[in-house]
Amino acid sequence: MRITRVLSSYVGRIFFGSTVAVLAGLLAVVALFDVIELMRRASGRTDVGFGDLVGITALKLPFLAIEILPFAILLGGLIAFWRLTRSSELIVARAAGVSAWQFLAVPVGLAVGLGLFATLALSPVSAMMLARAERLDTSLLRGGAGSFGLSGDGLWVRQHDEQVPGGGWSIIHGRRVEIAGSALRLQGVTVFRLTERDAFHSRLEAESAELQPGRWRLANAASVAVERPREPLPEVMIPTDLTVSRLQDSLAPPDTLSFWALPRFIAVLDDAGFSSLKHRLRFQALLALPLLAGVMVLVAAGFSMRQSRRGGVGLAIAAGIAAGVALFVLSKVVGEFGGSGTIPVALAAWTPAGVGLALAVAMLLHLEDG
């Protein structure tokens, strides 16, 4: 029997409302714990107000929404389908000849749409706001640690420079980056030295700079200062606490880049010789998000559409939640393997959706035919 438009829209409306309510509730709980953690870190700092901490958490909300969206869809689907089964509405529809695949088409379509929205539209907003939250966290709670950036015109590094009178900053720019093992070398180097108040102090130009333990070593350098002639300096040492691994981890974390910006940044990382595994994993995970969202609907249906007269409804729903947690843990485990290069990135990103799809289809086939 062909499902009617009224029943289709009704099931879709119940599912969508439950999912949005669950997502809002989960976001509220996660935000509360995040504020508590920030308050713990800010204890003893009189210059950081409660409003600053709430602002940092608020900026993280779009990113958190993307992260917990699949689990919110699972819980929302469990609640919606359990409610419809408990009121016998789905039982009557199935008795009238409507299969589970028919009335699940609209919820699955809505879930896939939410996944597409999160990937294509929400991820740019999430990346921008999360980057802002990280900057605020760094300036307010981490004492203004150095910052780093990699783009098509080379590497930029900002760090403290105690060699500037009174303390200050150095902004190091290398037009080309060369990495060999644990060694990093910049070609075409310019160093801008600033005072603590960000006023210009001097400029260094060097043919190359090598990152050595505890210092930058500039070769064939020259100093340019205000009202002073250019002064050749065969070699300059600039103290630093940077390492190649720390620099790698600090270059635009994958979560602060949108779905649209990731491919270009991956190409820049590859050209510079840095590892792009984590960024590739993030890109593939965003690609897989719509499928994973749709799969969560099927998993929820498989666990919650059991008829009440058979008993064990509560146990089935608990098993559905456990299955969602298991898929979440699986995604984190294979993500770690993918990020380390142990398994292919695509396999790590798509495995949770594939495993969930196999589980859901098996359960629904048993529900329909068994």
At residue 3, the pLDDT reads: 54
Is 228 domain-assigned? yes
- Residues of the domain holding 23: 5-142+275-369
Q: Are residues 138 and 158 in the same domain?
A: no
Same domain, 304 and 204: no
- Whether the pLDDT of residue 146 is over 60: the answer is no
pLDDT per position as a tens digit, 201-246: 888 999 999 988 888 999 988 888 777 778 888 888 988 887 777 7
How high is the pLDDT of residue 178? Answer: 80
pLDDT tens-digit readout, 159-208: 888 888 878 888 888 888 887 666 788 889 999 988 888 788 888 999 99
Is the Cα torsion angle 140, 141, 145, 148 positive or negative in sign? negative
Q: How far is CA 1 from CA 97, 103, 191, 298, 356, in A?
A: 5, 11, 73, 21, 28
Highest mean pLDDT pick, 20-29, 33-42, 131-140, 356-365: 20-29
Question: Is 241 domain-assigned?
Answer: yes
Residue at 125 is within a domain: yes
CATH number of 204's domain: 2.60.450
- 157 and 129 housed in the same domain: no
Closest CA to 237 of 129, 307, 162, 298: 162
Tell whether 268 is covered by a domain.
no
Residues 67, 194, single domain; the answer is no
Q: What is the 3-state secondary structure (H, E, C) of the chain?
A: CCCCHHHHHHHHHHHHHHHHHHHHHHHHHHHHHHHHHHHHHCCCCCCCCHHHHHHHHHHHHHHHHHHHHHHHHHHHHHHHHHHHHHCCHHHHHHHCCCCHHHHHHHHHHHHHHHHHHHHHHHHHHHHHHHHHHHHHHHHHHCCCCCEEEEECCEEEEEEEECCCCCCEEEEEEEEEEEEECCEEEEEEEEEEEEECCCCEEEEEEEEEEEEECCEEEEEEEEEEECCCCCEEEEEEEEECCCCHHHHHHHCCCHHHCCCCCHHHHHHHHHHHCCCCHHHHHHHHHHHHHHHHHHHHHHHHHHHHCCCHHHCCHHHHHHHHHHHHHHHHHHHHHHHHHHHHCCCCHHHHHHHHHHHHHHHHHHHHHHHHHC
Residue 257 lies in a domain: no
Asked if 121 and 18 sit in the same domain, the reply is: yes
245-296 tens-digit pLDDT:
777 666 678 888 899 989 988 887 777 667 788 899 999 999 999 999 999 9
pLDDT, tens only, 17-56: 999 999 999 999 999 999 999 999 888 777 788 888 999 9
Span 49-97, pLDDT tens digits = 888 899 999 999 999 999 999 999 999 999 998 888 787 777 676 666 6
| Whether the predicted model's global pTM rises above the 0.85 cut | no
Residues 129 and 154 grouped into a single domain: no
Least Cα distance to 190 among 241, 164, 155, 145 occurs for 155
pLDDT tier at 318, thresholds 50, 70, 90: confident
- In terms of domains, do 279 and 138 share one? yes
Residues 306 and 245 in one domain: no
Look at residue 70 and tell me if it is in a domain.
yes
Does 152 share its domain with 93? no
Residues 319 and 350 occupy one common structural domain: yes
Tell me, what amino acid is at 322? A
Domain boundary among 235, 250, 265: 250
pLDDT for the residue 121: 96
Per-residue pLDDT, 1: 46
Which pLDDT belongs to residue 94?
67
Provide the number of structural domains found in the chain.
Answer: 2
pLDDT at 147: 58
124 & 162 share domain: no
Q: What confidence score (pLDDT) does residue 312 get?
A: 58
The answer to whether position 177 is within a domain reads yes
In a shared domain, residues 26 and 128 = yes
Higher pLDDT, 170 or 7: 170
- For residues 130-141, average pLDDT: 84
CA distances from 146 to 135, 139, 149, 158, 247 (A): 11, 10, 11, 5, 10
Residue 300 counted as domain residue: yes
